[in-house]
Every structure is written in structure tokens, then in C-alpha cells.
Amino acid sequence: MAYYYVFEFELPFPLVAKQGVMEVALNYTSAEDLALGKDPTLDRACGYLMTGADVFSSPTASDRQRTTADEDAFLAQMEQSAEPFRDLAYERRLHRVDRLNRLGRRVQRALASLPFAALGLTAVGKQLHRLVVNQMEKQAQRH
């Protein structure tokens, strides 16, 4: 059962690409790409929602022959893996964005404390901060 939780219950879905823990990119260009028969995962999900069809196939005879010892061996192997589900690229990006946000807040406070801040320099600081954050996010996505 553990094998299914780790590998089978998360179906491959090439129409959507994971970019981070909470971010995705759409990999289709038209509604035709979503048509019946174009993507088996989407077909399974729609079949479940529309007709109540099973999302996952029933265990095969060889699946049913697996023992608890097989499952324990699998879990022990997963335990030995160095954080198999950790998204290091996302963590690095999150750290960079946090540093940029803190820097941006400092710049905004500094601009607001200037005597001529009422002339719109605070808005300029916010725009500059957004520009830098966007540039860093694009750079992080490339890596």
C-alpha cells in the first residue's frame, strides 16, 4: 500500500508542470489539447467526476502477493533516501524572494523618511522593488 501512496496516487499530468510547491505552468495551448483521449490522466479524472469511474486501477495478482515485509523494505529504502520529496529549487527561490522583500521594505522605509517623499518617491520605491523581485524570480526559474 505504501508504494501506491508514494508512486501511484499522484498521477502524471503533463498538461500542467510543477514549478514549485504552490505554483504550476499550463502546458497546453488550446481547448483541443484537453479533448477526450488526448491525456489519459485527464480522462481518468473526468471519468471519475462525470460517471463515477475508478481513478486507479485495481491491484493486479502480483500486487496482491506483496507482503508486509515487501512494504517494510520499500519504506526502509525511502527512509534511506536523502529527503526524496524536498524541492530544493523552490526553497532557494523562496529564500531569495524573502531577502528581496526585506530589502524592499527597508528601501521603502528609507524613501518614506525623506522630506520629499510626498512627491511620489515611495511609489517609485515600490515599483523598483517589484521590478527586482520579478527579475530574481525569472532568474530563479531558469536555474
113-132: per-residue pLDDT in tens? 776 655 565 666 677 778 88
Q: What is the mean pLDDT of residues 51-72?
A: 86
Task: Please tell me whether residues 66 and 98 are part of one structural domain.
Answer: no
Task: Please tell me whether residues 68 and 134 are part of one structural domain.
Answer: no
Q: What domain count does the chain have?
A: 2
Close Cβ partners of 19 (under 8 Å, ≥ 6 residues apart):
25, 141
**Which one of 8-17, 82-91, 94-103 scores highest in mean pLDDT?**
94-103
Q: How far apart are CA 100 and CA 106, in angstroms?
A: 10
- Residue 105 in grid coordinates: 521594505
Task: Please tell me whether residues 10 and 64 are part of one structural domain.
Answer: yes
Task: Please tell me whether residues 10 and 71 are part of one structural domain.
Answer: yes
pLDDT class for 3, splitting at 50, 70, 90? low
Alpha helices for 58-120 (secondary structure H): 61-64, 68-80, 88-113
pLDDT at position 101: 86
Task: Please tell me whether residues 45 and 100 are part of one structural domain.
Answer: no
Share of the chain above pLDDT 90, in %: 10
Task: Please tell me whether residues 112 and 50 are part of one structural domain.
Answer: no
> Which range of residues forms the domain containing residue 123?
88-142
Query: Which stretch of DSSP H or E encloses residue 49?
Result: helix 40-51
- 63, 80, 97: which is the final residue of a domain? 80
Task: Please tell me whether residues 71 and 92 are part of one structural domain.
Answer: no
- 80, 98, 113: which is the final residue of a domain? 80
Task: Please tell me whether residues 10 and 67 are part of one structural domain.
Answer: yes
pLDDT beyond 90 at 96: no
| Residue range 11-58, pLDDT digits in tens | 778 888 888 777 888 989 999 999 999 998 899 889 989 999 888 777
Please, are residues 87 and 20 in contact by the beta-carbon 8 Å criterion? yes
